[in-house]
């Protein structure tokens, strides 16, 4: 078997850093969500870019699939080894290579996690802002084009990656981008590999844009009787040009789940959670302007969390939302939806989703990064009840259809993986074929994360 020949050569190259134990294979065949176990044939733990290049060359010679692995926190089964092959786990490539405080950038290896990076940056006055919730690896975050609560202010991984080192499907090592802040020199390959989910190559180094730690931070929470009041408040805030660092929506069901899980006493109606970053004076001014907009839209129970402890409590509650919601229906499984729509259609999209869930036999609290028009319903279902499973799948499907009809996208931040592949044609039309042509050009043997992203792969 050709994969077996590849594994023998890889074993010579890596020694103990190639593993085939069942526990390790199962660990790398698992996903955070509802996809089946699909273990790879082996797991490699490279230490250098040259080693990654040699690994890919061996795999290319034997047509062995190559699947990158960060921390395993992707939500759409991006790292599932459908066709077996080699999982390349980047945990040993987790160094910070260079911090450049004057240029506000950092070069890192892909296995470093965002929390590890921010811990190291603490003394520099800088931080890396992209925060998808999970303590994901930065290589994985780039590959999924992750974002999260702070994208409304600081952008997504697309905006935060200045350059990459990539090992291509034939083992060639390339560098994309420069350390300059902008360039008009050629095709934007950095942007092409960000979000490619490992289907065009393996990222072995990233240069990331950093931000200055704000002098002052303030956060607040407020409640609204109706979803549209909360959303219109967000639209006005954006139009005023108030530079929110985060603006998160939670619906009545999510507020109820928080209360039950964290012992909070939120009214069980829609809420906004907001954070401002800036100078003391700037943050105070933004807070005042935001308070006036909230009042205009009938917001209630407006409360500032000015101490670090109060802020931490607020965002910890938000970050634990998934667990709070899972705890609200013990034993249930979940589908986490991820649509993103133009903000003018957001209230309509949330209301239609709420009504659709209410008419179904299951529950599904809603949370959203509403400054971007991105929201998630956590659809909870008993997987022993076929009617509930079908209801969850149908709700998820209708959410995507609704998003596409509104000019939005099937996935704002979780990516395509296995779960969203079936929507690529509907979302992109003939442009999906162009993606296939690019894949074919860069990976003609289809060994890089095969079965993902493009047609017939």
Site for its own copies in 278-307 (CB under 8 A): 278-279, 281-282, 285, 289
Minimum CB–partner distance for residue 182 and its own copies (Å): 5
Binds its own copies by CB under 8 A, chosen from 1, 8, 240, 327: 240
Q: Is 437 in the site for its own copies (CB under 8 A)?
A: yes
Binds its own copies by CB under 8 A, chosen from 413, 447, 449, 451: 413
Count other C-beta atoms under 10 Å from residue 16's C-beta. Answer: 7
Comparison of 235 and 367: residue with beta carbon closer to its own copies? 235
What is the residue whose two structure tokens read 């303030």? 218
Minimum CB–partner distance for residue 330 and its own copies (Å): 31
Q: Is 20 in the site for its own copies (CB under 8 A)?
A: no
Q: How many residues contact its own copies, by CB under 8 A?
A: 93
Nearest Cα neighbor of 234 from 341, 311, 147, 338 is 341
Query: Strand pairing of 66-69 and 86-89?
Result: parallel
Q: Please tell me the distance from the alpha carbon of residue 264 to that of residue 234, in angstroms, as a whole number.
A: 24
User: Which residues, including other chains, have CB under 8 Å from residue 384's CB and lie 6 or more apart?
Assistant: none
Q: Which of the stretches 5-13, 102-110, 246-254, 314-322 binds its own copies when contact is defined by CB under 8 A? A: 102-110
Binders of its own copies among residues 130 to 159 (CB under 8 A) are: 144-147, 151, 156, 158-159
Binders of its own copies among residues 217 to 236 (CB under 8 A) are: 235
**CB contact at 8 A, 403 and 337:** no
Binds its own copies by CB under 8 A, chosen from 29, 70, 84, 214: 214
Binders of its own copies among residues 161 to 180 (CB under 8 A) are: 168, 172-176, 178-180
Q: Please tell me the distance from the alpha carbon of residue 316 to that of residue 326, in angstroms, as a whole number.
A: 16
Minimum CB–partner distance for residue 255 and its own copies (Å): 25
Binds its own copies by CB under 8 A, chosen from 24, 47, 120, 188: 188
Binds its own copies by CB under 8 A, chosen from 209, 322, 376, 414: 414
Binds its own copies by CB under 8 A, chosen from 416, 418, 447, 448: 416
Q: Please tell me the distance from the alpha carbon of residue 19 to that of residue 10, in angstroms, as a whole number.
A: 10
Count other C-beta atoms under 10 Å from residue 390's C-beta. Answer: 14
Q: Please tell me the distance from the alpha carbon of residue 261 to that of residue 317, in angstroms, as a whole number.
A: 9
Q: Please tell me the distance from the alpha carbon of residue 144 to that of residue 419, in angstroms, as a whole number.
A: 13
Binders of its own copies among residues 342 to 361 (CB under 8 A) are: 342-344
Minimum CB–partner distance for residue 427 and its own copies (Å): 6
Q: Which of the stretches 39-47, 57-65, 387-395, 423-431 binds its own copies when contact is defined by CB under 8 A? A: 423-431
What is the residue whose two structure tokens read 């061996």? 58
Binders of its own copies among residues 69 to 98 (CB under 8 A) are: none
**CB contact at 8 A, 49 and 76:** no
Q: Which of the stretches 23-31, 110-118, 249-257, 340-348 binds its own copies when contact is defined by CB under 8 A? A: 340-348
Q: Is 411 in the site for its own copies (CB under 8 A)?
A: yes
Q: How far is CA 312 from CA 146, 217, 226, 315, 316, in A?
A: 22, 11, 27, 5, 6
Q: Please tell me the distance from the alpha carbon of residue 232 to that of residue 45, in angstroms, as a whole number.
A: 49
């Amino acid at each position: 078997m050709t994969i077996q020949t590849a594994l023998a050569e890889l074993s010579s190259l890596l020694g103990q850093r190639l593993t085939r134990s069942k526990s390790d294979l199962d660990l790398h065949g698992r996903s955070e969500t509802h996809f089946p176990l699909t273990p790879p044939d082996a797991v490699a733990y490279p230490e250098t870019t040259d080693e990654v290049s040699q690994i890919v060359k061996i795999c290319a010679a034997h047509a062995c699939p190559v699947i990158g692995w960060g921390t395993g926190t992707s939500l759409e089964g991006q790292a599932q080894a459908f066709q077996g092959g080699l999982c390349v786990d980047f945990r040993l490539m987790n160094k910070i290579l260079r911090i450049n405080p004057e240029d506000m950038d950092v070069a890192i290896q892909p296995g470093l996690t965002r929390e590890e990076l921010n811990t190291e940056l603490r003394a520099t006055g800088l931080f890396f802002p992209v925060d998808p919730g999970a303590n994901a690896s930065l290589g994985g975050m780039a590959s999924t084009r992750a974002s999260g609560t702070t994208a409304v202010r600081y952008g997504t991984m697309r905006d935060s990656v200045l350059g990459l080192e990539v090992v291509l499907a034939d083992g060639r090592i390339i560098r994309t981008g420069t350390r300059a802040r902008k360039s008009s020199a050629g095709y934007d390959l950095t942007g092409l590999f960000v979000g490619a989910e490992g289907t065009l190559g393996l990222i072995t180094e990233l240069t990331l844009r950093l931000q200055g730690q704000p002098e002052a931070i303030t956060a607040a929470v407020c409640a609204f009787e109706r979803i549209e009041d909360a959303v219109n408040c967000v639209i006005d805030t954006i139009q005023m040009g108030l530079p929110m660092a985060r603006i998160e929506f939670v619906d009545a069901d999510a507020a109820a789940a928080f209360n039950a899980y964290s012992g909070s006493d939120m009214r069980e109606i829609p809420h906004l959670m907001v954070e401002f970053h800036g100078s003391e004076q700037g943050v105070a001014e933004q807070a005042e302007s935001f308070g006036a907009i909230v009042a205009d839209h009938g917001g209630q129970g407006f409360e500032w969390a000015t101490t670090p402890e109060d802020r931490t409590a607020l965002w910890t509650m938000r970050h634990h939302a998934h667990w709070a919601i899972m705890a609200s229906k013990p034993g249930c499984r979940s589908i986490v939806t991820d649509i993103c729509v133009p903000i003018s259609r957001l209230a309509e999209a949330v209301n239609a989703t709420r009504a659709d869930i209410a008419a179904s036999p299951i529950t599904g609290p809603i949370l959203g990064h509403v400054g971007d028009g991105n929201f998630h319903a956590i659809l909870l279902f008993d997987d022993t009840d076929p009617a509930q499973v079908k209801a969850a799948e149908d709700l998820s499907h209708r959410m995507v259809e609704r998003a596409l009809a509104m000019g939005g996208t099937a996935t704002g931040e979780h990516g395509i993986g296995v779960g969203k592949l079936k929507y690529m044609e509907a979302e992109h039309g003939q442009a999906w074929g162009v993606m296939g042509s690019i894949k074919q050009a860069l990976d003609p043997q289809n060994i890089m994360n095969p079965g993902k992203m493009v047609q017939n792969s």
